[in-house]
Copies of this chain bind each other. A is one copy, B any other.
Amino acid sequence: MPKVKCTIAYDGSHFFGYQIQPDKRTVQGELESALQKIHKKNSIRVHASGRTDTGVHAKGQTIHFESDLKLSSESWTRALNALLPDDLYVHQSEIVPDQFHARFDVVEKEYRYFVLNREERDIFRRKYIYHYPYSLDIEKIERACKYLIGTHDFTTFSSARATVKGDKIRTLFEVSCRSHGEELEFVFRGSGFLYNMVRILVGTLLSVGQGKIEPNDIITLLEAKDRSIAGKTAPAEGLYLWRVGY
Binding site for B on A (CB under 8 A): 9-11, 57, 86-89, 91, 120-121, 123-124, 126, 128
Q: Is A126 a contact of B57 with CB atoms below 8 Å?
A: no
Count the copies.
Answer: 2
Chain B residues contacting A123 (CB-CB under 8 Å) are 9-11, 86-89
Chain B residues contacting A11 (CB-CB under 8 Å) are 123-124, 126
Q: How far is the CB of A56 from chain B (nearest CB, A)?
A: 13
Q: How far is the CB of A228 from chain B (nearest CB, A)?
A: 30
In the assembled complex, 18 residue pairs joining A and B whose CB atoms fall closer than 8 Å, in A order, are A9-B123, A9-B124, A10-B123, A11-B123, A11-B124, A11-B126, A57-B124, A86-B121, A86-B123, A86-B126, A87-B123, A87-B126, A88-B123, A89-B120, A89-B121, A89-B123, A91-B120, A124-B128
**Residue ID in chain B nearest A87 by CB atoms:** B123
Chain B residues contacting A88 (CB-CB under 8 Å) are 123
